[in-house]
Each structure stands twice: as structure tokens, then as C-alpha cells.
Amino acid sequence: MLFRPAIENDLPAVMRLAERAGAGMTSLPHDEQRLLARMQRSVDTFAGRLPAHEQGFLFVLEDPDTAQVVGVSAIEVAVGLSEPFYNFRIQRTVRASRDLGVYKNLELLTMSYDHTGHSELCTLFLDPDYQKNRNGLLLSKARLLFIAAFRELFSAQIFAEMRGVLTDEGKSPFWDALGHHFFAMPFVDADRMTGCGAKTFIAELMPSYPIYINLLPEDARAVIGQVHARTAPARSILEKEGFRWTGSVDIFDAGPVLEAETDRIRAIKESYQVAANADLRFPGVPTLVSNTQFNQFRAMLLLPNAQGVIPSLDNIQMDALQIAENDPVRLVALNPEESTA
């Protein structure tokens, strides 16, 4: 499986992925014009034609045997610089009366702009038919090798907004309890508008004052900070790399926002660069390998053979990575528990 930048010709395949992703994937709207614009923005970013606040990288996972695109993931370079990036942050407050002997520890949702200027991991979706053979790990973590190779492009803090809990009918308990009262539209419509770039209405309609969580219905309270069933593996992948939930949630579905210091993310911190020559010794564990080319970035997963050894790169692999002997490559163990650092 080959991880590479998306190009305009990938549009039909990415449209199919967006359709399969369903509601709640704000950054992967099932809208041909919006997806084409997203791809063009990525192409322009790689070409150096955009300022930092407009830059975003879109990648795909390709099955070389069929030339079929089966997954997509992305990195936003710096959010919130051209228009506000909103989240709710959970904060605590205390109400007490000594005379009555009452002491209440309460939680509030307050509008936050904490991630302004931060880089974001987003738009992770893998075709369910390919959710095997560590493909999801490759699709998610190859982005970290790209960040490690071009660290100067990205912020000191990085985050990932996880898709929140939805019912089988595509409804959000959190949205129905809160956002619906201010926006007067179904969750799928608000989600579609945000995915299409129409975000100004959030500031116009969302309450600016704190919201007491204990006033929300039980089913809405229960999903705050929880993820969609399909998103649980993605959350686990990031948490094992060092991401943590510190109390920020999406304003629509209350999915958790995971955060990390960029230089402390395991795959970034432990990756290293060597020459791809015949004497290259790979760790005897599943290993991510990438080239170090910006415009033609490529990554793949190498697995040990029956003897527990990863052989040197063969000609087919080197061609796929678009490298020649002695060109630099970047390596990192796929999983933290197998790390050799």
C-alpha cells in the first residue's frame, strides 16, 4: 500500500470515500466541487503558491495492485488565521453556600479559540473493505513522518478533532440537545454547511455565554468527549502516539479534540533519516519508511519476513518510493510497543 499526495485525478475515488464516510466527517463533505477545491488547495500548497494560513495537505492511500485509492487523510498547517476556529472547552466552577451547607462542583461549556494557529490532523477515512493489514495505521501515521521531515512548516502544538457520537439514523444527541435550539436545522445540514466552508453562521448564532452541562439531557451529557464507533480506532492510534484529550470538544457533536506537543509525538520524535542503500538494516518490526521529497512524498509499510527480518528495499519498493540507491529515507517503528528508540 502506497501513501502519497492527492491529485485532481483522485477526485472520483475520494468522492466514493466521502459517500461511505457519512455524516459527521465535516472535513470530507460529499460535494464534488468542495472536494475538488480541497484537492486543488493541497496541490497549490505543495507547489508553494499559498500563504501559511491557507495551506493544507491532502494525502491518499493507494492499492498499487489495482491503482485504486482506498483511504484519505490530511494535515492543516495553521487553523483559525483566516476565520475563527471554534471549540467548546469544559471548565469547572463551584457554587457554595456555607449557611446551607451546599457545595456544588459544576462543569461548563465555554466557547474557545485555543487552537488558533495550530496544525491539525484531519480527514482520516479508510474504505471499510481495507480496514485490515495495518492499513489504518499507515494512513494515519505516515502523516507524522511527513511532519517530521518538514518540521519547520508546522506549529509547536498539533491537534485532531474526532468525530462524535451519532445514532444509526445520523442524529447527534448533543446537537439535538443544544445546537439545534440555536441553529434551527438538522445536524446533517449544519455539518454540511461547515464542511462547505460556511462557518460564519456559527459566530452569528451560537451563544457566547457558558452553558451548564448538568442542564443538558442525560443522553447529550453521556456523549461529550466520546467518539463515533468508526472513529474509535483512529483515537486509539493517536493516543498511543502521545495525544491526549484535555477538555476541548467539537461544538456540533461534542467529539473530543486530542492535543499533543508536536516534538513529543512518538513517531516524530523517534523517526530518523538514513541512506537507502543495500546495507540498510531495518528494525525487525513493522516499520514505516518514506522518502524525504516534499512534492513527491511517498510512504509505505515494511513487514518482517518469516525470519523476523526486513530485507533491504527491492527495486519495486524503491520505484514506488521514487528513490535511488543512497537517497535518504526516513524510518520509524510502526507501533510504540515495538519501538527500538
Q: Which residues pair with 304 in a beta bridge?
A: none
Strands 272-275 and 211-212: unpaired
Cell of 163: 468525530
| Identity at 178, one-letter amino acid code | L
The answer to whether the beta carbons of residues 69 and 115 sit under 8 Å apart is no
Catalytic-role residue among 30, 115, 118, 228: 228
Torsion angle (degrees, nearest 10) of CA 208, 212, 218, 219 = 20
Measured CA distances, 318 to 55, 310, 315, 325 (Å): 29, 14, 5, 8
* Inter-residue long-range contacts of 309-318, CB under 8 Å, 24+ positions, other chains counted: 309/282, 309/284, 310/282, 310/283, 310/284, 311/282, 312/277, 312/278, 312/279, 312/280, 312/282, 313/276, 313/280, 313/289, 318/276
The answer to whether the beta carbons of residues 223 and 216 sit under 8 Å apart is no
Q: Which residues pair with 104 in a beta bridge?
A: 95
181 a catalytic residue: no
Strands 211-212 and 157-161: unpaired
SS3 332: strand
| Identity at 272, one-letter amino acid code | Y
Which residues have a catalytic role annotated? 228
